[in-house]
Structure 1
Amino acid sequence: MAALTNIVVLVVAARLSSAAGFSVFSLVYTVFTVLLGLSVAYVGQALVLERGDPAAVRGACRSAVVFTASASGTLGAAMAAVLFLVPGATAHGLAVLGLVLPVVLTQDCVRYCFSTLNLPHYALAADLVRLVAAVPALAVQPQGSGPERLVAVWGLSAIPALAVSAALVAPQLRGAAGDPRRLLRRGHLGKRFVLEFAVGNASNQLAVIGLGLFANPLAVGALRGVTTLFGPMNVLFNASTGFGPPILGRYPTSARKVRATVALALALSGVAAVWAAVLIALPDRLGRALLGETWAASSALLPATGSQYAAIALGTCALLTLRVLRPRATLPIQVVFSLLSVAFMLTGYALLGGVLGAAWGLCAGSLLKAAAAWLRIASVRREPAPAEGVPTAPARQQASAPARQEASAPAPQEAEGASAAPARQQKDADGAAR
């Protein structure tokens, strides 16, 4: 539901805007995507690892909500105060984003609270409210609405979902003792997750923002439009990384794990190729109905972006395999090849014909990352198994009782299969490895 909301919002905004207006909206939305990813990495991904004493878990949820509301409110106020004074539609759009930032980020944080509290149906209910409120609110806006207005309507439409989330989570957190400062302490897992997000996801987003600020804003609209058309593939990729590790943990040997992910990689890559072919064959009339004026620029990128998504499918499954076999092996690949993808995108833009060259540069970077990840898998399988019974991270050993719940994720040194179900993660290293 959350992914569908993001896709529909961009489609509706593209239909209502001029090409220039949608480019500004896309740039603002890309900034939001980066901020959301940082929030999820720092707060949400660490929060869902909380377990143990119910009171401590509820306290962690309260701390996460208060921290997110306070941090996003402070950042949003600073953005609005500074950028409203800067001339230009992009600056004003970002200023409006600052005003609505506490609403959208806090509502997203509460979704992770529901997951942590084993109440995913509450998160689904809030996401449904978000979808039902956002799409009609945007759809009734007049044709040619400016990006500032669209950003404001999109952000304020999250208020009903936030209200529903607050009403559902309040009884669960009543009486819980929260301490938002715990998210700033040394050893908080979110710091590691932010680093992985920064090199794996945000670098490409920031490069796209740079294209819009320093090169051609229309390039952002074209790239954002074509990636929106591949939104269903992103849903499949996220489902694979989210549900893959516990499923792979059921296979007794690394060979069977690798065979399973190879099959998944080929299947997802084939789906990406078929989806690209469908979009390429789409009549212009239907394309314009989806993306409005942006379709003309985005449709030219479909072969390059379709090839990129096929490569992303291969890379996603390879990184999933490494996360299960050798968690420490993923970060170097993310760092090197994400930065390399950015370099290829900028080089392609400069040397190979503008935004089309940028799209092919992204494709080359994704393909190289996938190749490097699969080569690393082959290398890992030839290496001896990591030593068993290695002590966990020092931060985990020194944590207080509530902090120990937070740091209970498997250490990188733990052996194969340690990223399976949370109950298995609490066993000793020998038991988890077996």
Structure 2
Amino acid sequence: MRARTAIIASVADQGVAALTNILVLVAAARLSTVADFARFSAVYLVFTVLLGVFGAYTGQPLVLKRGDGEETREACRSAFVFTVAASAALGALLAGVCVLLPGDTARALTVLGLVLPVVLGQDSLRYAFSTLRRPHLALSSDLVRLLCVLGVLSAQEYGTGPDRLIAVWGLSALPALLLSAALLHRATAGTPVRLRPLMRRGYLGARFVVEFGVGNATSQLSVLGLGAVGSPLLVGALRGATTLFGPLNVLYTSATSFGPPLLGRVTDERRRVRATGALAAVLALTAALWAAALMLLPDRAGRELLGDTWPVAASLLPATGSQYAAMAAGTCGLLALRMLDPRTTLSIQVVFSLTAVAFMAGGYVLGGVPGAAWGLCVGSVCKAAATWARVARIRRRKPVPDHAVTAGALPSAP
């Protein structure tokens, strides 16, 4: 596939995935009371963390591979099988524990455990198709996913519990999973499944999981923690605000996950870094324009989107919009570092993600929910500045040969 066609297909796929993500949360907000949406948001947040963990462990090392030879096809096939098997085991454990606990949130977590292999397996195939340079296959699968999720959610009534919403959302991914699995089998026919390389010591995915844990997962779990010790509605308020930026959130994640195969087509290292900087500027401008459009949205239209959650979410739009503009720069800075030297990002993730959590907690103490949102924004600004400062330092070093970077080619971590 030509580079331009691949880029168009990849962008379209991320757009469809983003639309699916935001429509799920919008539908849940409209179908739920404020309390039920807070419960659904908490469970969906758990799924988001698990999605990031599996994406970091199997997906991100996968997309660093180049070419579509037998080794790459084998890696794609193995990553999918590993994801389904591991998520099934984890989901069974989650369901087995939560089924013994009381409450609506525990029931929804039980259901999440049962559908986990379906939703995580379908997402892992997107990484495989990106690595194989066949993003049009991922686009086809995600279109099926979008149509199915719209169909099942539109059939639900107001007042539907979070456990039922999680069930219909998760099972709606099954047709897309089956389609993607068939397409992957056809694209990788004849290659073996080798799971041992994904579990060996020094596997690059383990390092990426640590980065995700101290980065995205730390801030998300800290929101749950503040909701538990402070106001439970904090989770719903912050989740409602970020729901409105759902397309940008997916695009940022996709830039890190699916950017390397596309930017890897650019042979010159300096041009790749410049292209990443241009992408950061475009995404930051998009975030600013999106935030401005949301702040101009009439109250009636906002309630059509988020129902009873709209008033609290609308009050956070200036802070959340500023945060997402800063996140654009930080995400693309991490992408540049990932291509220059994948092992240089961990320290930044550790220091500045924990800093963001501290700013959020301090902001909550000083200014409640709006203060927490502004604290997250300040943390994102600091992280973005640190990533691009590291990129500049690496670029000032003596140039090294621009070899292909693969998960297996990197030395083991000490």
Same-fold status (TM-score > 0.5): yes
Give the Cα separation in 1 of the matches to 2:259 and 2:362: 36
Secondary structure of 2:345's match? helix
Q: Which residue pairs with 2:170 in the alignment?
A: 155
Q: Per-residue displacement from partner, 1:271-320 (whole Å, max 9, x unpaired)?
A: 32222121111111000001111101100101111111122223233334
Give the Cα separation in 2 of the matches to 1:39 and 1:313: 22
Deviation of 1:60 after TM superposition, in Å, equals: 2.8
Q: Which residue pairs with 2:62 in the alignment?
A: 47
Q: Which of 142, 151, 163 is the matching residue for 1:127?
A: 142
Is structure 2 residue 376 aligned with structure 1 residue 362?
yes
Deviation of 1:222 after TM superposition, in Å, equals: 1.1
Q: Which residue pairs with 1:243 in the alignment?
A: 259
Q: Which stretches in structure 2 are left out of the alignment for 5+ residues? A: 1-15
Q: Which residue pairs with 2:100 in the alignment?
A: 85
Q: Which residue pairs with 2:119 in the alignment?
A: 104
Give the alignment of 1:277-316 within 5 angstroms. Answer: 277-316=292-331
Structure-2 change in CA distance of 1:283 and 1:11 (3 Å): same
Give the alignment of 1:12-411 within 5 angstroms. Answer: 12-50=27-65, 54-238=69-253, 240-241=255-256, 242-243=258-259, 247=263, 250=266, 254=270, 263-325=278-340, 327-352=342-367, 354-380=368-394, 383-385=396-398, 388=400, 406-408=407-409
Structure-2 change in CA distance of 1:358 and 1:166 (3 Å): same
Give the Cα separation in 2 of the matches to 1:116 and 1:301: 37
Deviation of 1:177 after TM superposition, in Å, equals: 2.1
Give the Cα separation in 1 of the matches to 2:143 and 2:101: 36
Give the Cα separation in 2 of the matches to 1:50 and 1:262: 22
Structure-2 change in CA distance of 1:178 and 1:18 (3 Å): same
Given that 1:69 and 1:106 are in contact with CA atoms closer than 8 Å, whether structure 2 keeps it comes out as: yes
Given that 2:130 and 2:261 are in contact with CA atoms closer than 8 Å, whether structure 1 keeps it comes out as: no
The residue identity in structure 2 corresponding to 1:243 is G
Deviation of 1:223 after TM superposition, in Å, equals: 0.8
Given that 1:31 and 1:209 are in contact with CA atoms closer than 8 Å, whether structure 2 keeps it comes out as: no
RMSD (Å) for aligned C-alpha atoms = 3.0
Q: Which structure has the greater CA radius of gyration?
A: 1
Higher relative contact order structure (alpha carbons within 8 Å, sequence separation ≥ 6): 2
Deviation of 1:19 after TM superposition, in Å, equals: 0.6
Give the Cα separation in 1 of the matches to 2:268 and 2:398: 14
Give the Cα separation in 2 of the matches to 1:227 and 1:252: 36
Secondary structure of 1:137's match? helix
Give the Cα separation in 2 of the matches to 1:314 and 1:327: 18
Deviation of 1:359 after TM superposition, in Å, equals: 0.3
Secondary structure of 1:100's match? helix
The residue identity in structure 2 corresponding to 1:350 is V
Structure-2 change in CA distance of 1:10 and 1:84 (3 Å): same
Secondary structure of 1:144's match? coil
Give the Cα separation in 2 of the matches to 1:168 and 1:251: 30
The residue identity in structure 2 corresponding to 1:361 is G
Given that 2:141 and 2:177 are in contact with CA atoms closer than 8 Å, whether structure 1 keeps it comes out as: yes
Q: Per-residue displacement from partner, 1:4-27 (whole Å, max 9, x unpaired)?
A: 211110111111000110111111
Secondary structure of 1:345's match? helix
Q: Which residue pairs with 1:429 in the alignment?
A: none
Q: Which stretches in structure 1 are left out of the alignment for 5+ residues? A: 397-404, 413-434
Structure-2 change in CA distance of 1:178 and 1:309 (3 Å): same
Q: Which residue pairs with 1:427 in the alignment?
A: none
Deviation of 1:53 after TM superposition, in Å, equals: 8.2
Give the Cα separation in 2 of the matches to 1:53 and 1:320: 22
Deviation of 1:118 after TM superposition, in Å, equals: 3.5
Deviation of 1:168 after TM superposition, in Å, equals: 2.2
Identity across aligned pairs (percent)? 59
